[in-house]
Chains A and B, each alone.
Chain A
Amino acid sequence: MHLRRRRPGGTDASTHDGVIVLRTALFLSIVVLAGTSGELFMAHAMKQAARTETVTHAAVVGLLKQGFRPAAMWIGLALQALAFFALLALLSWADLSFVVPATALNYVVGAAGSALFLREQVDRTRWAGVLLVCIGVAVMCASEL
C-alpha cells in the first residue's frame, strides 16, 4: 500500500496506518465536497453572465467582469481555495496517481449537483458514464485502502 510505504519508522505500525487512512479520507472528503460545490457556485455565476461565442481578448475580459459580480462566484472561489489547500496537504503524504483518481468521486456530487441546482438535464447515458467512472475509481482505491 503506497500510503503505508511512506510511514516513517519508530511508531506503532497499525495505529499509525489507521491515522494516515483516516486523515487521507478526511482531506479527500474536503477536496471533493468543497471543490465540487465551489465549481457549482462558479458555474452558476458564469451562467448569469452573457455567453460568448468568440474567444477574443475583449470578449474574455467582458465575460470575466460579468462573471465576478455575483456573490456565488466569490463563494465558489472560497470553496475552491479550501479544496486547493486540502489537496496540497494530501499530496504531501500520498501518491499523485492515488490522490488524483480518488478525487473522481466528485463526479457523483457534480452530476447530482448540476441536475439539482443548475437544472441541467443529466440523461441515462451520462449517468451510466458517471457510474463507470465511479467504478473505475473504486477499483483503483480498493487495493490501496
Chain B
Amino acid sequence: MLALTIVLGAVGDLLLSTGMKQIGRVELGPAAAMGGVFVRIITNAEIWLGIATLLLLFGCSLVLLSRIDYSYAQPATAVGYALVALLAYSVLGEVVTVSRWTGIGCICVGVALVGRTPPRTTV
C-alpha cells in the first residue's frame, strides 16, 4: 500500500502541473479576475484527473496512517521525488539538472535510513 501511495502521488502531481501550465501563471488580483482563474481551474480535465488521483491517495493514506507511524510513513514516500523528476523530464520535457539528481540521490539514501526503523512506535 505504501508503494501505491508513492505512484498515486507522483501521477497526481504530474496531472496537476499539466493542468496549471495550461491555465497559465496565477496572479493575485481583483475578485473578478481570481474568479475567472477559479473557473478555468475547475473546468480543466487534467486538474480533475489529478484531484481524483490524489483523493485515491488520500483514502490509501488514511488506512496507512491507522497502521503505521506518521513519522515513518511520510519520509518513506520521498521515493516519489525520483519518480516525479523522472516524469517531469520524460513527460513534461523539463530540464532536470545534475544538482537536482544529486539531491534526489541524497533523498533516496535518507529514505533508506528511515526505512530501517520499525514502522510503529506508539501503542
Closest to B86 in A: A97
Closest to A128 in B: B113
For chain B, what secondary structure do more than half of its interface residues adopt (helix, strand, loop), or is it mixed? helix
Closest to A106 in B: B74
Instruction: Assign chain B's interface to a size class.
Output: 35 or more
| Distance to closest chain A CB from B110 (angstroms) | 3
How many residues from A make CB contacts under 8 Å with B?
61
Q: Does A71 contact B (CB under 8 A)?
A: no
Set of chain A residues within 8 Å of B67, measured between Cβ atoms: 51-53
Q: Does A30 contact B (CB under 8 A)?
A: no
Given contacts A125-B116, A136-B106, contact A110 B66 (CB under 8 A): no
A129 touches B114 (CB 8 A): yes
Given contacts A93-B26, A111-B71, contact A63 B63 (CB under 8 A): yes
Closest to A122 in B: B71
Given contacts A118-B122, A129-B112, A131-B110, contact A97 B84 (CB under 8 A): yes
Contact with A along B39-52 (1 / 0, CB 8 A): 00100000100000
B103 touches A107 (CB 8 A): no
Bound complex: CA of A90 vs CA of B53, how far in Å?
19
Set of chain A residues within 8 Å of B59, measured between Cβ atoms: 60, 64
Which positions in A face B, CB cutoff 8 Å?
Answer: 2, 6, 39-40, 42-43, 46-47, 49, 51-53, 55, 60, 63-64, 67, 87-89, 91-93, 95-101, 104, 106-107, 110-111, 114-115, 118-123, 125-126, 128-143
A-B pairs with lowest CB-CB distance, top 7: A136-B106, A132-B110, A140-B103, A129-B113, A129-B114, A97-B88, A114-B71
**18 additional A-B residue pairs with CB within 8 Å, beyond A92-B21, A135-B110, A137-B103:** A39-B74, A42-B65, A60-B63, A88-B16, A88-B20, A96-B14, A97-B100, A104-B81, A110-B75, A118-B69, A120-B69, A120-B122, A126-B72, A130-B114, A133-B114, A139-B99, A140-B100, A141-B103
Q: List 26 A-B contacts (CB under 8 A).
A: A47-B66, A52-B63, A52-B67, A53-B67, A64-B59, A67-B66, A92-B20, A92-B23, A93-B26, A95-B88, A95-B94, A97-B84, A101-B100, A118-B71, A120-B70, A125-B117, A126-B71, A126-B114, A129-B110, A129-B113, A129-B114, A132-B109, A133-B75, A133-B78, A135-B103, A136-B102
